[in-house]
Amino acid sequence: MRITFITPQDSLTGGIRVIATYAKSLQQLGHSVLILCASPDQPGGLRLALRALRRADLPGAWRAACQGFAAAPPRAGHIANSGVPYVVFESHSPPASMLPDADLLVATWWETAVWVDAMPASKGRKVHLIQGYEIWTGGDVRVRLHAALRLPNRKIAISSQLKFDIEAELGDLDIRVVPNAVDLVQFDAPSRDRGDPPTVGFTYSPQAIKGADIIHEACRLARQDIPDLRTLAFGSEHPPQEMPLPPDTEFHYCPRQDQIAGLYARCDAWLFASRLDSFGLPILESMACRTPVIGVPIGAAPDLLADGAGVLVPSESPEAMASALVALLRSPPEAWKRMSTISYQRAHAYSWDDATALLLKAIGDPP
């Protein structure tokens, strides 16, 4: 098949990683794949979302983080590094003349679903890969988002929780669910014992919705019981003064892709405290490296961490997160090893090859 993806930008975010991975997997299956993405200079949907968040009267830390993000120099993202052909368009949305005739045309963000809907049928059957439900932007964006989600196309969500949240608001939209996977070659680690002293890790972002403040407080509370607890983090933004890391945290700024699995594997627990997330790829990446996750019930966490694969704690509760962290790190060594093994087995039971096969099955016949 001839398949075209349209995305509002290239970056190193988890959502763009998913798009690039699907594109590469489909290309390896023999399909002809092209990705179109907006120039970093264009005010696409992601930047509109950032501007909306700035208007939401969030803490100064979030405003400062957004300003820093907008000012950061562009870096090659997952699409540029994927090996899949891609084209950058300079206009707000791609003109139809830029798109080749194809069999499938895949939108990857609500605004791109609007662009896709306007394309002639020759550009491919229309698919919307839904990676988020961005109602937190509010106002006019919320209205436009809901209109985009009601467009006639094949809809595929990346988690059952995402499907539930959208259809609870908009009714049955016949959304299919295809969960994300991780690269099981990149994210792997040999069996190990718990560290002494122990190390806890997390993915850092100054964005308020990612919960760095919750993690900061959880680590402070946990250190009251485990004074020698080490903290490790990595992220694509330097921590501003308004949203600092826990004291003495070992921070890795934009680590190379071949270094990330090693960072996960150095930890004895991984924290996930997002206030909003449609999936939470770091959960699965950490599990694939044998690191148990303590997380809030957001995105795919309830499915991934069930049945002994991790620990779910209430949202917005650093006290509960700290308590679970202390319990895990003070549990008998064999109990930690058992959770580490279950985490690994769950993550490695489902690959991107499996996800790609399910994606093609979900697309199926025209809706």
Residue 188 lies in a domain: no
- The structural domain count of the chain equals 2
Rounded to whole angstroms, the Cα distance separating 204 from 212 reads 6
Q: Are residues 342 and 213 in the same domain?
A: yes
Q: Are residues 358 and 343 in the same domain?
A: no
* Inter-residue contact 274 to 209 (CB < 8 Å): yes
Residue 194 lies in a domain: no
Q: Are residues 91 and 238 in the same domain?
A: no
- Please give the pLDDT value at position 71: 39
Burial of 363 (0-12, 13-18, 19+ CB in 10 A): buried
- Please give the pLDDT value at position 211: 96
What are the average pLDDT values for consecutive 10-residue runs of the chain, which has 367 residues?
95 91 97 93 48 37 35 69 94 92 97 96 98 81 95 96 94 96 96 98 94 98 98 95 96 95 98 93 97 96 94 98 98 98 98 97 82
Which CATH number belongs to the domain containing residue 229 in this structure?
3.40.50.2000
Give 65-102 pLDDT, tens digit per residue. 333 333 344 567 999 999 999 999 988 889 999 999 99
Q: Are residues 158 and 217 in the same domain?
A: no
- Please give the pLDDT value at position 326: 98
Q: Are residues 177 and 228 in the same domain?
A: no
Structural domain including 75 reads 2-181+351-363
Residue 192 lies in a domain: no
Give Cα 129 to chain centroid, integer Å. Answer: 13
- Please give the pLDDT value at position 76: 77
Residue 60 lies in a domain: yes
- Please give the pLDDT value at position 75: 63
Rounded (10°) CA dihedral 96, 16, 2, 177: -110
Residue 324 lies in a domain: yes
Residue 239 lies in a domain: yes
Q: Are residues 321 and 356 in the same domain?
A: no
- Please give the pLDDT value at position 359: 97
Q: Residues of 145-167 as b/e, b for ≥16 C-beta within 10 angstroms? A: beebbebebbbbbbbebbbeebb
Q: Are residues 218 and 108 in the same domain?
A: no
Q: Are residues 203 and 134 in the same domain?
A: no
* Inter-residue contact 7 to 109 (CB < 8 Å): yes
Q: Are residues 339 and 263 in the same domain?
A: yes
Residue 67 lies in a domain: yes
Q: Are residues 117 and 17 in the same domain?
A: yes
Residue 341 lies in a domain: yes
Give 278-304 pLDDT, tens digit per residue. 899 999 999 999 999 999 999 999 999
- Please give the pLDDT value at position 58: 38
Q: Are residues 235 and 335 in the same domain?
A: yes
Q: Are residues 261 and 337 in the same domain?
A: yes
Angle between helices 281-288 and 14-28 (to 10 degrees): 70
DSSP-assigned letters across all residues of 287-331: HHTT--EEE-S-TTHHHHTTTTTEEE--TT-HHHHHHHHHHHHHS
Rounded to whole angstroms, the Cα distance separating 211 from 275 reads 6
187 contact partners, CB below 8 Å, separation of at least 6? 260, 261, 264, 284, 285, 288, 289, 347
* Inter-residue contact 308 to 341 (CB < 8 Å): no
